[in-house]
Amino acid sequence: MAYVRKKAVNGYVYHYLVEARRAGGKVRQHTLAYLGPDEACSTTEGAITYWQQELERLREQAQYCRASAEAAKQRIPESRLVRYGGAIPHTKRRGLRLRWNPEGQYWGVMDRLGSYERRILQAERRLAVLGAHVGSA
């Protein structure tokens, strides 16, 4: 049986979906999912709504990053692409400055896009766990 646990850390309140399990004769809490910081996340239904909105926001940001990366890619001169065999040189390997060249701008946006995509996967997993919990309750 899973339940919602409130945890206060440094004056902030966080909500977790936890399950009690017996291990070695003692009852231990196993965290199933982080629900969120808002008071609306104090129920699983509220947490599902919160994470659906967060997932939509992250997808919009990722789409914006994809468009920005494509625009930065278009600004790279053809001569540079020919020099590197059609590949865009990575700024960290080449020592290129981020602000001053299109390659650096491209890879900066691609790093942000990777971060958004990881957060999207985490939110989707969290929603799957919450959906399974609501479905089984």
Place of tokens 């299109």: 102
pLDDT at position 99 is 58
Mean pLDDT across 6-26: 90
φ, ψ for residue 118 (rounded to 5)?
-65, -40
CA atoms within 13 A on the CB side of 83: 7
* pTM attached to this predicted model: 0.77
pLDDT higher than threshold 70 for residue 98: no
Residue 137 binned pLDDT confidence (cut-offs 50, 70, 90): low
- Please provide the average confidence, as pLDDT, over all residues in the chain: 84
Mean pLDDT across 72-93: 74
Domain boundaries, the chain: 2-136
- Is pLDDT larger for residue 84 or for residue 46? 46
- Is pLDDT larger for residue 90 or for residue 15? 15
Contact (CB, 8 A) for 115 and 62:
no
Structure tokens at 53: 């909105």
Q: Is 130 exposed, middle or buried (0-12, 13-18, 19+ CB in 10 A)?
A: buried
